[in-house]
DNA sequence: ACTCTCACCCAAAGCGCTTTGGACACGACT
DNA sequence: AGTCGTGTCCAAAGCGCTTTGGGTGAGAGT
């Protein structure tokens, strides 16, 4: 059942039916009611392609999920982020188009996304340091929002990010305040911009107290539990082991915890651990009241909401220009951090 | 730059340009080359909406991500599943349209997806026992594949699933063979069909040796680490604690592990743990050679590939009728399971 | 010399919607 | 009586593509 048929069955023109359905004032309430009822009965839904072609709006935004190589890691944060963004978008009638991108053909994916008229704008995830995708997207001319930032780039694009540098600075300060001097950083892949910033915050905090960071106490890899376990284990076996760990994710923290326990030590007493908590729904840091880890906390689902909201504003009025949102992560104390043991 | 302009700039008709670009034989190789080059230079991309409208094919499939209530859990399996499906789909030129569904308006979402012509078919996730969405989708008439199965339904729809029942039967057998008699089940939410089947397999295995399952050793909840920790802890504190756990996911297993260690016992010696491993890329069960847990193993990314492939076959030729794929999970031995301790 | 193939190309009709630019009737205002 | 809204509806022109159903000219076959 298309518009033409529906109009015919009602003895009306397509124009009138279309207007009745879309709430235009040029049609009497009586007719509108009649049209709505007929549409309901026949189960009529406008074809979104035709409508999109006619209006120029796709009512759809693009989301790119970067997949490096075949076997590489899918961003665990993705599901919650998309859930957040999706809630906001679907409430406003927008759909989400997903594109998997492997490094090689990034350019073509972004280009085709817009050119093909499928989406009105897009959200870019997981920017790398000096990511050239920003330029690509600007060239393309479609509204976009970056979840994260790119360090080596001026601020002429829209982004939303948490203050990773500050968050890790504070977390490091917290450990320093507790008397820890040998603090280890279990970071994510430092090509990722957020990891880069976290490292900076960590180093700053240490340097600003006049200490020096130990290269042996800094690791960087994809944020899995096993990485946390192995990296922490290796460091604990050093002649001068760390007394505290700063881990880039809950999973990494869990790995560190396992390494600590495996050596007969207790987290929060012998060795402290502070993590960053993305607030993933399927990976809660204990309960709200009883956390497992002391953590810098910023739910990625909220980030999804915010990114989507920003993008919609940008689509509605592109002239408002680049907009930025910086979120502060809260520092939540848990039982995993305590005073440094006396030497 | 649209087709019309491109044709004009070449002094050709739209027909010829369209055919040249789409590889039809009615155009000379010389012209085709000329057209391709011009298209490249001008950065021409056909508008997918217009093309879709003309061809009747959306070149897009729908994926629904169920989001129960506001605060509920996002399926952690989703990211890897979509990565797998996406790889297959994008290789074949298909895009993915994501829809977030909260229980209430499921019907309308599925209905609108197809009616609006946005997708050529869809993949349904996380079916519940007696899920009424199947009937909905059948009514809608669009090709679809269910990732999982619905127990109380005949097999007149296409699905792909792992043999959850058999997998958990085997895992339970493994523990029984090791001499365990008090085996606890840390299951997912049993409204989910897969969890239901796993429970059945578990109970079958116990019953077929003439033992009786203990209700106190069976838990069911959303599969988080904290749930594993708390449920396992509760059971370990019983007057007659279990000697082994069968956990429905790696995270639950990790929680159980933590509970075991917290009580000064050792996993694999005092208490055995067997898990189901979805092979999530960001949650590896140790490394391939050195796993952490004994596990029934079936990568969900593979499931994504298979579902996508099935759906494409169904779209290409709907007459092939309902197709089904059942995968067997492998049982991989790890250090987390060992002989039952002597009482 | 005439027809018949091909090889190559084109005009125009959709696909299903929105939207522009009226048309028509009816009551109100001057 | 004439004009001017005003409320209600419509015909038709797009949106940008594919595809049907020819058209045209060159070379081959007789």
Burial of B156: CB neighbours in 10 Å, binned 0-12, 13-18, 19+: exposed
Residues of the domain holding B36 = 3-44
* Nucleic strand C under 7 Å from the C-beta of A226: no
Distances from the Cα of B228 to the Cα of A141, A314, B220, B233, angstroms: 48, 43, 10, 8
Q: How far is A26 from chain B (nearest CA, A)?
A: 25
Q: Which residue of B has its CA nearest to A90?
A: B100
Question: pLDDT by residue (tens digit) across A28-53?
Answer: 999 999 999 999 999 999 999 999 99
Which residues on A lie below 8 Å from B53 (Cβ)? Answer: 47, 49-50, 53
Nearest residue, CA→C1' of D7: A26
Query: Which of the listed ranges A121-125, B86-90, B169-173 does the model predict with the highest average pLDDT?
Result: B169-173
Question: Regarding beta strands B330-332 and B294-297, do their DSSP bridges make them parallel or antiparallel, or are they unpaired?
Answer: antiparallel
**Together in a domain, A154 and A182:** no
Q: How far is B211 from chain A (nearest CA, A)?
A: 34
Which residues on B lie below 8 Å from A99 (Cβ)? Answer: 86, 90, 95-96
**Together in a domain, B113 and B235:** no
Q: What is the Cα–Cα distance from B316 to B312, expressed in whole angstroms?
A: 6
* pLDDT above 90: residue A140: no
Is A166 in contact with A194 (CB distance < 8 Å)?
Answer: no
Residue A145: predicted pLDDT: 96
Portion 97-126 of B in contact with A at CB < 8 A? 97-100, 111-112, 115-118
Which residues on A lie below 8 Å from B74 (Cβ)? Answer: 79-80, 83, 280-282
* pLDDT above 80: residue A104: no
Checking each nucleotide's C1' against the CA of B48, the nearest proves to be: D17
| In chain A, % of residues over pLDDT 90 | 77
From residues 20-49 of A, list those within 7 angstroms of strand D by Cβ. Answer: 26-28, 31
**Together in a domain, B119 and B265:** no
State whether residue A265 sits within 8 Å of chain B by CB: no
**Together in a domain, B16 and B119:** no
Residue A56 (CA) to nucleotide C17 (C1'), in angstroms, measures 11
- Predicted model pTM: 0.92
Nucleotides of C under 7 A from a protein CB: 7-22
State whether residue A279 sits within 8 Å of chain B by CB: no
Within a domain: A203? yes
Torsion of CA B33, B35, B40, B43, to 10 degrees: -170
CB contact under 8 Å between A283 and B251, yes or no, is: yes
CB contact under 8 Å between B222 and A283, yes or no, is: no
Nearest residue, CA→C1' of D12: A15
Residue A106: predicted pLDDT: 67
Within a domain: B338? no
What is the widest separation between alpha-carbon atoms in chain B? Answer: 90
Within a domain: A134? yes
Top residue of B42, B46, B60, B83 to mutate, by most chain A CBs within 10 Å, is B83
Q: How far is B117 from chain A (nearest CA, A)?
A: 6
**Together in a domain, B127 and B155:** yes
State whether residue B283 sits within 8 Å of chain A by CB: yes
What CATH number should be reported for the domain holding residue B71?
A: 3.40.50.2300
Within a domain: A341? no
* pLDDT above 90: residue A342: no
Within a domain: B342? no
Within a domain: A342? no
Residue B104: predicted pLDDT: 65
Is A99 in contact with A63 (CB distance < 8 Å)?
Answer: yes
**Together in a domain, B99 and B175:** no
Which of A49, A98, A251 lies nearest to residue B98, judging by beta carbons? Answer: A98
Residue A185: predicted pLDDT: 98
Checking each nucleotide's C1' against the CA of A7, the nearest proves to be: D10
Q: Which residue of A has its CA nearest to B96?
A: A98
What CATH number should be reported for the domain holding residue B17?
A: 1.10.260.40
| Residue B21 CB neighbours (<10 A) | 18
**Together in a domain, A168 and A228:** yes
Q: How many structural domains is chain A composed of?
A: 3
* Nucleic strand D under 7 Å from the C-beta of A112: no
Mean pLDDT of A190-195: 93
Residue A268: predicted pLDDT: 96
Q: How far is B59 from chain A (nearest CA, A)?
A: 11
Within a domain: B51? no
Question: pLDDT by residue (tens digit) across B35-82?
Answer: 999 999 999 999 999 999 999 999 999 998 777 654 467 888 998 999
| In chain A, % of residues over pLDDT 70 | 94
State whether residue B86 sits within 8 Å of chain A by CB: yes
**Together in a domain, B259 and B198:** yes
**Together in a domain, B176 and B282:** yes
CA-closest candidate to residue A303, choices A322, A325, A270: A325
* pLDDT above 70: residue B115: no
Within a domain: A339? no
**Together in a domain, A154 and A66:** yes
**Together in a domain, A178 and A294:** yes
Residue B105: predicted pLDDT: 66
Please give the order of strands across the beta sheet that includes A159-162. Answer: A324-327, A159-162, A144-147, A121-124, A60-66, A95-101, B95-101, B60-66, B121-124, B144-147, B158-162, B324-327
**Together in a domain, A137 and A173:** no
Residue B31 (CA) to nucleotide C6 (C1'), in angstroms, measures 17
- Strands (E) in chain B, as ranges, are 60-66, 95-101, 121-124, 144-147, 158-162, 183-187, 218-220, 244-247, 272-277, 294-297, 324-327, 330-332
Nearest residue, CA→C1' of C20: A15
Q: What is the Cα–Cα distance from B211 to B69, expressed in whole angstroms?
A: 39
């Amino acid at each position: 059942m298309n518009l033409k048929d529906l109009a015919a069955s009602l003895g009306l023109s397509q124009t009138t039916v279309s207007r009745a359905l879309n709430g235009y004032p040029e049609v009497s309430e009586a007719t509108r009611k009649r049209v709505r009822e007929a549409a309901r009965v026949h189960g009529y839904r406008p074809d979104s392609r035709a409508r999109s072609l006619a209006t120029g709006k796709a009512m759809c935004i693009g989301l790119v999920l970067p997949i490096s190589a075949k076997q590489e890691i899918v961003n665990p944060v993705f599901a919650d982020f998309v859930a957040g963004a999706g809630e906001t978008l679907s409430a406003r009638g927008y759909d989400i188009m997903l594109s998997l991108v492997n490094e090689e053909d990034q350019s073509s994916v972004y280009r085709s996304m817009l050119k093909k008229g499928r989406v009105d704008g897009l959200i870019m995830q997981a920017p790398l340091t000096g990511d050239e995708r920003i330029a690509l997207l600007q060239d393309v001319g479609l509204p976009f929002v970056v979840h994260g930032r790119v360090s080596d780039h001026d601020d002429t694009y829209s982004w939303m990010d948490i203050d990773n540098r500050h968050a890790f600075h504070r977390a490091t300060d917290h450990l320093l305040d507790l008397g820890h001097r040998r603090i280890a950083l279990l970071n994510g892949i430092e090509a990722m911009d957020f990891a880069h910033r976290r490292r900076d915050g960590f180093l700053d905090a240490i340097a600003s107290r006049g200490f020096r960071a130990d290269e042996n106490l800094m690791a960087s890899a994809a944020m899995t539990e096993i990485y946390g376990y192995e990296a922490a284990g290796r460091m604990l076996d050093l002649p001068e082991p760390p007394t505290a760990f700063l881990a880039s994710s809950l999973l990494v923290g869990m790995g560190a915890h396992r390494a600590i326990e495996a050596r007969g030590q207790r987290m929060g007493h012998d060795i402290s651990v502070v993590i960053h908590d993305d607030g993933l729904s399927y990976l809660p840091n204990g309960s709200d009241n009883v956390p497992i880890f002391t953590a810098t906390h910023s739910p990625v689902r909220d980030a999804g909401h915010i990114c989507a909201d920003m993008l919609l504003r940008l689509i509605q009025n592109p002239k408002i220009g680049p907009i930025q949102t910086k979120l502060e992560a809260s520092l939540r104390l848990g039982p995993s951090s305590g005073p440094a043991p006396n030497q």
